Amino acid sequence: MDTIPSPYAIRMQSGILFDIENPKTEDVCLEDIAHGLAHTIRFNRQCPVTYTVAQHSVLVSDCRGNIRNQRAALLHDAAEVYLADIARPQHPLFPQMKKYTWGVNQVIAERFGIALARFYSVDLQYWDDAVLKAEFEDLWGRYDEMPLVSREAIPPIEALGIDAAKQLFLDRAAELRLSTGFMSSSVVRSSGESA
């Protein structure tokens, strides 16, 4: 007998129905994340070039030290695939989104064996801001944004476009050994992180 889908479920490009009211780990798919982030243009879709959240996520992951931090950085915006991207200045206008973002991040973290706290670390926020500063400079030609953040470690940015950004994201995920298949629970350590 078929079950009636939740009115809050959305169909992903893989065919999976993802319910934001009741997210499930088994409904998180790396290809859906790559597809969604590659089709989301940065700066609330107002970037002057086709520069995607997928490419942004790869750049943030390139800045972070150990592999666990790099994995979290690559997936730090993954919840936007399921919830939509709300520009940072608008976050206070949508307080309910925090609850849903937290829930979706929980299942993403669990799915890929990442400690949830890594998505919310000060270190990740710093590198996210450093890449943002580089994006302002390289893509917008605006050098007055974010004066307290250094973009020293960020190479010059050139927008790759949708297809190349999606492939870059998937390649980086493979490099970081983020599985597209389901993880064995025997691989997950007590911290909730995989080896």
Return the exposure string of 104-137: e unless at least 16 CB atoms fall within 10 Å of the residue's CB, then b: bbebbbbbbbbebebbebeebeebbbbbbbbbbb
When mean pLDDT is compared across 49-63, 114-128, 145-159, the lowest value belongs to: 145-159
Segment 135-172, tens digit of pLDDT: 999 999 887 777 778 888 899 999 999 999 999 999 99
The whole-model pTM stands at: 0.87
pLDDT at 129 over 60: yes
Q: Is the pLDDT of residue 55 over 90?
A: yes
Distance, in Å, from the CA atom of 48 to the CA atom of 40, rounded to the nearest integer, reads 13
Q: Is 92 within 8 Å of 20 (Cβ atoms)?
A: no
pLDDT at 190: 38
The residue among 33, 166, 5, 168 whose CA lies nearest residue 108 is 33
**Could you tell me which CATH number the domain at 9-85+93-175 has?**
1.10.3210.10
The predicted structure's pLDDT at residue 188:
37
Mean pLDDT calculated for residue range 39-60 = 94
Domain spans, the chain: 9-85+93-175
